[in-house]
Chain A
Amino acid sequence: MSNEILEQFANREYKWGFVSDVESESLPPGLNEEVVRIISEKKGEPEWMLEWRLRALRHLARMQEPTWHNVRYAPVDLQSIVYYSAPKRRPKLNSLEEADPELLRTFEKLGIPLEEQKILAGVAVDAVFDSVSVATTFKEKLASLGIVFCSMSEAIREHPDLVRQYLGSVVPYSDNYYATLNSAVFSDGSFVYVPKGVRCPMELSTYFRINAENTGQFERTLIVADEGAYVSYLEGCTAPMRDENQLHAAVVELVALDGATIKYSTVQNWYPGDKDGNGGIYNFVTKRGRAMRDAKITWTQVETGSAITWKYPSVILQGDNSVGEFYSVALTANRQQADTGTKMVHIGKNTKSTIVSKGISAGFGQNTYRGLVRVNPGADYARNYSQCDSMLMGDKCGAHTFPYIDVRNPTAIVEHEASTSKIGEDQIFYCNQRGISTEDAVNMIVSGFCKEVFRELPMEFAVEAQRLLGVSLEGSVG
């Protein structure tokens, strides 16, 4: 590949950058007990929730920011972040007409099918605009099946017993620096509960959007699938262009009880910063699921955005015969850095896990796969297969793999494979020769490279992911 082409690639513009002008009601920047109390109070939370937040805040004071990851960034000053920002005019949830028109236009630009398309698309959308949920649809249909799909704030008010039972059960408030921060100040997020034996009839989806300037977003998502239930959840995000780094420290907890299945799919396309590495989102996310007997949890992610990505969607395979899967595509271009992967902790017998990770590095991008496969002594006949492949475009980028394999059971079988490759000139030539333009050829080759992951995505997302990758690769002729 010639340098000129790679430069074009490196200079790709962020396609989704626009700022919507909704008045925000914000707290002054800073983190202290007062701020946590205000957040909790504004949301009308019960005493136990406030207590939990404060425990997390006190724990945070004893923690150090982690430094073990393979990414470099300017230190984050927690005191300069605004911890609460809500759209000022809070529409009532029963009708869209009451929502801020500016807000609705923003959603339209993002392509969220809140209007007529929502029925056609068959997607129930819980849109988080900054920190407060402003619209929830399809609620009634889901409610008839006993499915709860609402914002976290609402769940804390309406379903306190469920929230109290499961919140922090997979990611405790003391888990890690950013999860602890999130536990103290989480703004909102989604809550899903699928009752016993119920198969959720539609893909649930949430569009997160970081909007008000200087606002770190701290979503907290909790999905509980009761015995034998099934749910597929989609999370997708785009964000407006910004110069300042924005911290995003979300926590996602999945609980799959006996025989339940949870599919969690993400397309992440936050602002990655400009080509010199200015601005961009810091994406420090803790995602973890607990799978009980015969349960299955699948994480699928397509990560193309953010200046810094640091996330390891994990599965604790606690019950016998439980299954964990992780499928990931991570693209780093320009000065983007990603340190991502998964943890599969085998505790139950006959537990199985599959890891497929595809990393693409271009420009000055640094892409790291970091994974852990642990087989505990009791996990008889545990089975893991991991594959992590890297593709490099250009000689200024990097691809790194740090797979940890810890096995304490002689009946376990663990396999790990990794490879690194580049787009060969011969491959491009072969396509050119058959009348396929170089740009299409690159797209084809990259799509093929990522195929194993894309086919795990729900249909709507697979299309979006392909498009996203295509856009990201625009101009990378060769």
Chain B
Amino acid sequence: MALALDSRTPFQKLYRFDAGAPWERLRRTAAEFFESVGVPGTKNEEWRFTSLREFAEHEFAPAQPRDWDGRFGSADPIVVQDALRLVVVDGVFRPDASSPDIPAGLTVGSWSQTKDDPAWRRFGSTVQVDRHPFAALNTACFSEPILVHAAPGATIERPIHLAFVSQRSDAASAVFPRVLVVVGENAEVKILETHSGDGTYFTAPVTEVFVDQNGRLEHTKVQQDSLDAFHIGHVRATQEAGSVYASNAVSFGARLSRNDIDIWLGGEHTETWLNGAYMAFGEQLTDNHTRLDHAMPNCHSFQVYKGILGGAGAGVFNGKIYVHPDAQKTDAKQTNKALLLSPQATINTKPQLEIFADDVKCTHGATVGQLEADSLFYLRSRGIGLAEAQAILTYAFLAEVLEKISLEEVRTALERVVFRQVAKVEPMPEE
């Protein structure tokens, strides 16, 4: 179906207009917006340190549905034995590879499987496409969204694993995973979202999350995309009173990785955990943007982001905390730490507080540096070689964040990746 507007972007052929779909209006608005702004340049404050020039040189074709060879593309696929697994390969949901037995109180599946679920009414209602060009692009291009809906009061013991896989193909392809998560009142859910693949591709996932009153959600997003891939993702979460949302964002893969997490605290007495771990080696660039809107009083947020940058790796961090005028008794803590392991590695970090209420406790801290000489000395005085001591400390630096992930198999798998990566790092010459 032809587009009624003049396309300035090479993404036009990826738009999926379909007059019958319930989200047709969302799609059109989003496409129009994306066409009006295009791929953001570094003059845009939000993209100041993340140049998309190389990305924009690629022309991405819609992913073609193909057979799946059963591989996850990553050298370290994360397998959680008792998880309920939903697999999406090259943008297509694979019921054959997904777990069939769904516990009571839980609805999971693709749109076509779950379209009667009332949770779909919330779809797309909170994603701010005008603030996130790639969320707009996702909205214009996603194929079939996935739903995870826990009914009020349901405690889902088994973790839900959403695996997004991109297979190697001749032409660089684009996929637009779209997930809606609704955690009902007093419900509790753990979600693992993994992204992995082979070859050159572009993925722009959007996950929209609602945690209703007193609901609890642990959302672990692990990005282990191919080192030739571009990953530009967005998570939008809305928390109601008394809810707990823990986000663990792990970015180890992709040539260029950008993760935007926006959280709206719409009720009192909420608790939010934002844990982030990232590594960028070789030519990788990893960009994490978070935004926390303390719109209501008495909410607590705790954020820790840590990154390791080696080779010519580049790290970007921007953590915004907005304390709205009536959000008294807000308690917000933010920490961002980065380790630079090589002369070519860079970090651009910008913790940002905007406070419009007086009775609040807000702190942020950011450090950039290298391993502590004292700690290295301590290990070496016990007979551990320099390279090994550096590897141990580097690993420990990131492990502090990974420890927050409650799923043990995920934690162990990630720790293995970190350890292998840091063991490869050339030891820094001593002072």
Cα A156 to Cα B428 in complex, Å, equals: 52
Bound complex: CA A27 to CA B367 (Å)? 52
Smallest beta-carbon distance B367→chain A, Å: 5
Q: Are A409 and B343 in contact (CB under 8 A)?
A: yes
Q: 1/0 contact trace for B107-125 toward A, CB 8 Å?
A: 0000000000000000000
Which of B49, B342, B350, B357 sits near A395, CB closer than 8 Å? B357
Q: Is the CB of A417 within 8 A of B365?
A: yes
Contact of A402 among B49, B326, B350, B361 (CB under 8 A): B350
- A229 on the B face (CB < 8 A): no
Q: Which of A381, A403, A420 contacts B350 (CB 8 A)?
A: A403
Query: At the interface, is chain B mostly helix, strand, loop or mixed?
Result: strand
Q: Which of B29-51 contact A (CB under 8 A)?
A: 45, 49
Q: Check: B284 CB closer than 8 A to any chain A CB.
A: no
CB distance from B281 to the nearest CB of A (A): 13
Write the chain B residue with the least CB distance to A385: B367
Number of B residues contacting the other chain (C-beta, 8 Å)?
38
Q: Mark A403-420, 1 if CB is under 8 A from B, else 0.
A: 111111111111111111
Q: Does A348 interact with chain B (Cβ within 8 Å)? A: no
Q: How far is the CA of A392 from the CA of B367 in the complex (A)?
A: 25
Report A58-86 CB contacts with B as 1/0, cut-off 8 Å.
00000000001000000000000000000
Question: A413 and B358 in contact (CB under 8 A), knowing A407-B340, A418-B353?
Answer: no
A421→B45 CA distance, assembly (Å) = 28
Question: By the criterion CB–CB under 8 Å, are A405 and B349 in contact?
Answer: yes
Chain A's closest residue to B366 (CB) is A416
B359 at interface, CB cutoff 8 A:
yes
**A390 on interface, CB distance cutoff 8 Å:** yes
Q: Which residues of B contact A375 (CB under 8 A)?
A: 368
Q: Is B340 a contact partner of A412 (Cβ separation < 8 A)?
A: yes
Nearest B residue to A401 by beta-carbon distance? B353
For B367, what are the chain A residues with a Cβ–Cβ distance below 8 Å?
A: 413-416
Q: Which residue of A377, A408, A416, A422 is within 8 Å of B358 (Cβ)? A: A422
Query: Does B345 belong to the interface (CB within 8 Å)?
Result: yes
> CB-CB < 8 A to A402: which residues of B?
350, 352
For residue B356, which residues in chain A have a CB less than 8 angstroms away from its CB?
395, 397-398
| Any A CB within 8 A of the CB of B351 | yes
- Do A405 and B368 contact each other (CB < 8 Å), given the known contacts A393-B358, A410-B345? yes
Q: B319-362: which have CB < 8 Å to A?
A: 325-326, 328, 338, 340-343, 345-362
Q: Does B168 contact A (CB under 8 A)?
A: no
Docked complex: B381-417 residues within 8 A CB-CB of A:
none
CB-CB nearest in chain B for A404: B350
* A400-B343 contact in complex given A410-B370, A416-B365, A420-B360, C-beta closer than 8 Å: no
Q: Which one of B347, B360, B365 contacts A407 once the chains associate, using CB atoms below 8 Å?
A: B347
Task: Tell yes or no: B364 within 8 A of A by CB.
Answer: yes
Return B373 CB to nearest CB of chain A, in Å.
11
Residue pairs across A and B with Cβ atoms less than 8 A apart, 7 shown, are A393-B358, A395-B326, A395-B328, A398-B354, A406-B346, A417-B364, A418-B362
**Which A residues are closer than 8 A to B by beta carbons?**
68, 375, 377, 381, 390, 392-422
Closest 3 CB pairs of A and B: A392-B358, A410-B340, A413-B369
